[in-house]
Amino acid sequence: MAQLLVRRPTLLPDRLRARLRTGGTVQRAMLFAGAVLTTLFVLTALLGPLLAPYGFAQLQNGEGLFGSQQAPSGAHPLGTTIAGYDVLSRTVWGARTALEIILAALLLSVIPGTVLGLASGYLGGRLDRLLVGLADALYAFPPLLLAIVMSIVISGGQSSLVGGSARRPARSPWPSYRSTSESYGPR
């Protein structure tokens, strides 16, 4: 009773099929794609002056004005805006501004969160309970509602640039940094 085991020909090896089934490959591919996009964004922001064909507020070159709402061309790969600005240049310079805001927001949340977390974890007691309660309150409060309330409080009920700009940073991620650094304190 010899039984012959006949293997069906497959396009993928067994190891690769097993990996695809577990989903590790998809996660790795998503991680790689995110890393590539982040690297491209940061390089674009850092090399902005070299990559942008025109200045941020430049409306003309040696040949004259750019023109309003020009279609993409060799001179303007993404066209021009209603005001006549080159869209590619504005996008590259905007990436630079966005990177500066990202770094400022990161530093303004990581540094206080880490300091408070270290103090809370090391000192413990009432300070720890107070900071944990504050962090829990921030997590429990809906972020959009907190942003609206902070905007109204900062602007004094008036519509203004200061009140409007306070809407986004109203919800700081410092509680998560505080919790992380607190876990390293002595017990």
pLDDT at 45: 93
For the chain, the 3-state helix, strand and coil shares in percent, each to the nearest 5, are: 60, 5, 35
pLDDT at 47: 93
Please give the average per-residue pLDDT across 130-146, as a whole number: 87
Structural contact between residues 53 and 89, judged by C-beta atoms closer than 8 angstroms: yes
pLDDT at 157: 77
**Six-digit token string for 7:** 């293997």
Please give the average per-residue pLDDT across 159-178, as a whole number: 52
Question: Considering the entire predicted model, what is its pTM?
Answer: 0.60
**Six-digit token string for 117:** 């977390």
pLDDT at 172: 54
pLDDT at 101: 92
pLDDT at 160: 55
**Six-digit token string for 123:** 């000192």
Q: Which of 47-61, 98-112, 139-153, 166-180 has the lowest mean pLDDT?
A: 166-180
pLDDT surpasses 50 at 168: no
